[in-house]
Amino acid sequence: MNKPGKVVVEKIIKRRWAIIWHLVFSGLGIFIGFYLSWKLRNIFIGPSNTVCVLFLLFYSTTFKKKLLIGNVLISLLTAWDPDAFLTEIPIRFQPSII
């Protein structure tokens, strides 16, 4: 639940540092996505991870204030996360049967 009285940004951490850390972790996540894409030889992981980061950026700046599109976007991103890892990555790492 949103708690407007317990704002972290500007009370505990400065807004500038929050934006910097957001960019650092988003960039790190994109880098890891492309690294996994390269190691697993799957061109889907890196670009789809980048799209998710961009969707979250647009959600936080614009879509959060829209009634339906924001909820639909977050539900799609929430559904995509376990689907990507449950369908793709375990297939690549199954031990071979001898």
Helices (H), 40-88: 45-61, 68-87
- Full residue range of the structural domain in which residue 72 is found: 15-92
Residue 37 has pLDDT above 70, yes or no: yes
Residue 81 has pLDDT above 80, yes or no: no
Query: What are the pLDDT digits (tens) for 17-35?
Result: 988 998 999 999 999 989 9
**Across the chain, how many H-helices and E-strands are there?**
4, 0
Q: What is the domain count for the chain?
A: 1
Burial of 6 (0-12, 13-18, 19+ CB in 10 A): exposed
